Each structure stands twice: as C-alpha cells, then as structure tokens.
Amino acid sequence: MFFFQPPAGVPISLGDIASAIRRGADEGSPASRFARLVGDFVGAEYAFDFNSGRTALLTILRALTEISEDENRNIVVMPAYTCFSVASSIARSGLKIRPCDVDPETLDYDYDKLNETNFSNVIALIGCSLFGKLPNWHRLRHIADDNNLFLIDDAAQSFGCSDGRRMSGTMGDVGFFSFGRGKNLSTYSGGIALTDNPELASRIETISKSLQYPGFAGRVVTLMKMTTYAILLKPELYWIPNSMPFLGLGETLFDPDFRLARLGNLQACLGEIKFSQIGLLNSVRENISRQLMERLKGIPGLFIPGTDSERPIPYLRLPVLLTDRETRETAIKRLKQHGIGASSMYPSTIDQIPGIEKYLANTGDDFNGARSLSDRLVTLPTHPYMREKDIDTITQVLTKIRHN
C-alpha cells in the first residue's frame, strides 16, 4: 500500500526548515525567545527551554525537591495510564512513583481512589491532559491544597488547549509542554517548563543553566532527522518508514537515562516559525475530531471517552474505546490494512512497565480503570493530512468489525 496516514504529526515543510536555518544564523538567543513566546501565549510569568518534555519535568522535580521543606516527602503521584516518559523523569529524579488509577470514561484520575491516597510522603501531584482532554483541575487544586502538595500540569499533549479561562500548562504551580514529534506543535523535539512562582523559577533557572545547548554535531544530526521527518510524514511516503518495524516508530519507552540538554537553536527557530499556526492546527484537529465523533457515535460497543459537550476538544488523537482487547487488535489491524495509522498507544499501565518495580512507592493497588484503557483504547489520527475519504474509511472499518 502506497498511502498511509501517520497516527499523529505536524506537517513541517522544507521551506520551514530553510527559514529556521536562516533565522538561527541571526544574532540573539532563539531558545529563550521561543520560551518567552510560549510563556506569553499561555500567560506564564517564567518559561524555560529544554531538549524535551522529560528534561523539563525532571528539572521541575529537582527544583521542587530543593524547595520542599520536608525531606520525607519523596513520592510523586501520577496517572496509572499515561506516557512512560513521565515515569522516566520521576525515576531519574530519585523520587518514587505512585501511580493512581484512572477512569477510562473521562481519561482523568479515578477521584474515589485519588481521595483515598495517603499523601503524607507525597511531594507532588501530576495532572495530565491526555490527547488534549484536560483533567478536573478544580478537584486537583483542592486535593493539592488540602495535602500541601505541589501541583504539576503535564501539558505535553495539550499546547493551545484551554478550559475557557486559563491555558493548559498554567493550571498547576508549575507546568510543562513537549514539542516532540506528534505533539500539538512540533520542533521535532523540545520542551518548555512554566511557572508564576519566582522561587521555583529561580531554582529551575539555576538547574537549566547547568545544562548544555547542543553542539555542532548534535545540530547536524537534528537537522538530518528533522528533514527526514518533514519529508516522510506525508501519507504518500509514510508507508516507507511504517513498513520498517525496526525503526520503532511511535514506540514509547521507559528509560530514565534520557539525554539532558537545553533546546537547540534550530528547533527553537522552527518553533517560532510554526508557532503562528497553532490556532489553525488545533482548529483542524477539533474539526476532524468532531466529524469522526459524529460518524462513529452510533456504532454499538464503541465509546469515545473524555468528551466535553460544552467545549470541543482539539484531540491530538481521537481516543476510542472498544469492547475488549481482541476487538481493539482487530480494529487496528483492519484500519492499518486500509492505510490508517490507528494506534493502541501505551503498551501497558505504568505499574506493569518492565523494570519499574524498584521505582514504585505502591504495589498491589488496583489499577482496573487503567488496565481497561490499555486493553481497549485505540486512537485515530486528527492531523491536517486527514481527508474526508479517510474519515469514511475509518467509519466503514469500525462499523464492519464485530464488536464482541
């Protein structure tokens, strides 16, 4: 098949890359400029650039540990179903991971279970906007305040989303974005940490200054990868990398040994160039998500979690729950046969990641909601390469498969 819709992505043209190279040759500090642009856009007082969302989160955790008055507080609560990178950053920080179950219908925490948590040794609580769906920040704020916790807004998947009053990324005491591949805005890789708290900002700044900007060799490698990504993301060519499983496209890994650095100039310049398109990109996602939801809603056995009737969501990928793992696997296989990059997202819940045991604060908890998501979830592409025809194909495939 010579046409394959990637599961997620932001179109980057060779012209965008050429403009980024020209801009990078100018005077100034593109990474701080881009961080400021992002900070101003979401209304955050302080913003710091990093080479990834993981490094941004790790730096935040190190800064929180420094300012925490109680050294017994060494646990971070996070959703039991989310990107493995969140767990990688906590593990790297030396803090313990305490996954808490999620509600598969809302993609948010299971608040009954979260309220039962013993927070006495917890330093921070992470709220995660999976696929652009914001968690209940009001409830999270209460829980954080009642238990004297720092609240972290993981907005890696929700740049440009808002609750109508505040922008995602600014809902906690501190937050961060990822600008990796497949995110709302992509600089190929990158991250920004944000806060309004001057003390926290000063700690983050000090830690960030100890990190290096990429050197010449690193910049050349990034340029090559970025160019390859820009060319191959198009559905007419994406079948090429997609037919090479050893590339591990879209794989999510638990790896506390990730590289720490600041954001490279080329990526920062690309970020500045693509920044003006975030409104358009998210409105395309919102529109495709709406069309898909309309077309899929009557199919028995299929449920779209996390929808909000008052506020359309620019889903980074549209989450769909099927009845069980077997039906989900069949759906993904058929969709792929028809050229649609549907994905089962994270391969397991956080507690089941191989090798994670020694980093966990809790074992033996019940993560039934997270397990149900990891068994039944399929995500559908919502990026600008999607056509009417692809929406028709998805509808036909999901209508025809037998939902157990």
Ligand X SMILES: Cc1ncc(COP(=O)(O)O)c(C=O)c1O
Stretch that binds ligand X, among 79-87, 140-148, 166-174, 336-344 (CB under 6 A): 79-87
Among 180, 264, 341, 369, binds ligand X (CB under 6 A): 180
Q: Least distance from C-beta 381 to ligand X, angstroms?
A: 16
Nearest partner of 84 among 53, 115, 48, 123, judged by Cα:
53
372 binds ligand X (CB under 6 A): no
d(CA 402, CA 296): 14
For 8, the 3-state DSSP assignment is: coil
Q: Least distance from C-beta 45 to ligand X, angstroms?
A: 22
Tell me the DSSP string of 140-170: HHHHHHHTT-EEEEE-TT-TT-B-SSSBTT-
128 binds ligand X (CB under 6 A): yes
Quote the tokens at residue 252. Answer: 């999510």
Find all residues with CB under 8 Å of 210, minimum gap 6, and list them.
none
49 binds ligand X (CB under 6 A): no
Among 35, 86, 125, 386, binds ligand X (CB under 6 A): 86
Q: Least distance from C-beta 132 to ligand X, angstroms?
A: 11
Quote the tokens at residue 246. Answer: 């050893």
Q: Least distance from C-beta 178 to ligand X, angstroms?
A: 3
Stretch that binds ligand X, among 38-46, 48-56, 195-203, 374-382 (CB under 6 A): 48-56
Find all residues with CB under 8 Å of 380, minimum gap 6, and list them.
292, 317, 318, 320, 335, 340, 342, 394
Among 4, 35, 52, 317, binds ligand X (CB under 6 A): 52
Greatest CA separation for the chain: 61
d(CA 302, CA 2): 29
132-161 positions binding ligand X, by CB under 6 A: 154, 156-157
Which residue, 153 or 173, has its beta carbon nearer to ligand X? Answer: 153
Which residue, 157 or 374, has its beta carbon nearer to ligand X? Answer: 157
108 binds ligand X (CB under 6 A): no
Which residue, 129 or 289, has its beta carbon nearer to ligand X? Answer: 129
386 binds ligand X (CB under 6 A): no
Which helix (H) or strand (E) segment is 381 a member of? strand 377-381
Which helix (H) or strand (E) segment is 227 a member of? helix 216-232
The DSSP call for residue 120 is T
Binding site for ligand X (CB under 6 A): 52-54, 82-83, 85-86, 128, 154, 156-157, 178, 180, 191
